[in-house]
Amino acid sequence: MKIDILSLFPEILKGPLSESIIGKAVENKIVNIDITNFRDFSTNKHHNVDDTPFGGGAGMLLKPQPMLDAFAHTQQVSVEQGYPTGRVILTDPAGKRFEESDAVDLAKEDHLTFLCGHYEGFDERIKSVVTDEYSIGDFVLTGGELPALVMIDATVRLIKGVLGNQESAPDDSFSTGLLEYPQYTRPADFRGSKVPPVLTSGDHQKIADWRQKESLRKTYLRRPDLIDYDKLSKKQKELLADVKIEEEKK
């Protein structure tokens, strides 16, 4: 996968994208990430990339020329030639809430471009090249770099070969529509706090049932909005009923 990022502050992005799982994906040439400072494409003698909005109002808007010329450069085409099809993502608090299903969708693409904003917002004409507008939550940040990092991390980890254990991703929270069950490692008894006996029983079916039940319990208690009862299996419905009884008794 090729990922282009257009940003006024590349240094915010370089560190996180060179570390941990994403860094290894880049090193192993599974993902190619390029960061472009669109200020370099400003034709203004002061290299300004923003201006006051027509009609008045507070704040400054990003002008279309630097961003669109930088975008054309990353696509290796001229503005006159037009732009190739591909996913071009605008980080915007007014965008669609980014979810795991969106990460799964983006992970299937060959080329992604992220446009990171700053100041009050974008000139609307910048959106002429945008295919997707995403937000990571109902709050406002100083720029689009952090949301871009979040979306890239969520997406890249789903690409085949990126995670050391490919079974990890399908079991993670939200991948199944439910939150992930509690997990434990050695020692089995840590200062009096013991691992649930079922996990050391060696009975794989009982372990699977326990994990499913605890996944349902965590989701029921923390994010009940995620539970789609119509999509639960008969077994899951039985386990969820047990969870509700147990929680009511507490």
Residue 40, helix vs strand vs coil: helix
* Confidence at residue 234, expressed as pLDDT on a 0 to 100 scale: 95
Q: Is 137 annotated as a binding residue?
A: yes
Binding site annotation covers 13? Answer: no
Per residue in 12-54, pLDDT (tens digit) is: 999 999 999 999 999 999 999 999 999 999 998 899 999 999 9
The answer to whether 17 is annotated as binding is no
Residues pairing with 4 in the sheet? 34, 113
What pLDDT was estimated at residue 196? 96
**Mean pLDDT, to the nearest integer, of 180-184?**
93
Reported pTM: 0.84
Pairwise CA distance, residues 167 & 164, whole Å: 9
C-alpha 180/C-alpha 36 separation (Å) is: 37
For residue 212, give the nearest of 192, 244, 238, 247 by alpha carbon. Answer: 238
pLDDT for 171 equals 52
Per-residue model confidence (pLDDT) at position 84 = 56
- Sheet containing 121-122: order of strands: 50-51, 61-62, 121-122
Which of the four pLDDT bands, split at 50, 70 and 90, describes residue 222?
Answer: very high
Has 117 been labeled as part of a binding site?
Answer: yes
Residues β-bridged to residue 50 = 62
Residue at 22: amino acid letter:
I
Q: Rounded CA gap, 159 and 32, in Å?
A: 13
Q: Give the CA count within 13 Å in the CB-facing half-sphere of 239.
A: 20
Q: CA 169, 174, 178: angle at the middle one, nearest 5?
A: 115
SS3 157: coil
Poorest-pLDDT segment among 2-11, 67-76, 220-229, 232-241: 67-76
User: Catalytic residue positions?
Assistant: 93, 120, 157, 172
Residue 49: its pLDDT value, please?
95
Give the model confidence (pLDDT) of 74-132 as tens digits.
987 555 555 555 899 999 888 999 999 999 999 999 999 999 988 778 999 999 999 99
Arithmetic mean of pLDDT over the chain: 91
Nearest in space to 224 (alpha carbons), one of 180, 178, 181, 183: 178
* CA trace torsion 115, 145, 12, 102 (10° rounding): -100
In SS3 terms, 99-147 reads as CHHHHHHHCCCCEEEEECCECCEECHHHHHHCCEEEECCCCCCCECHHH
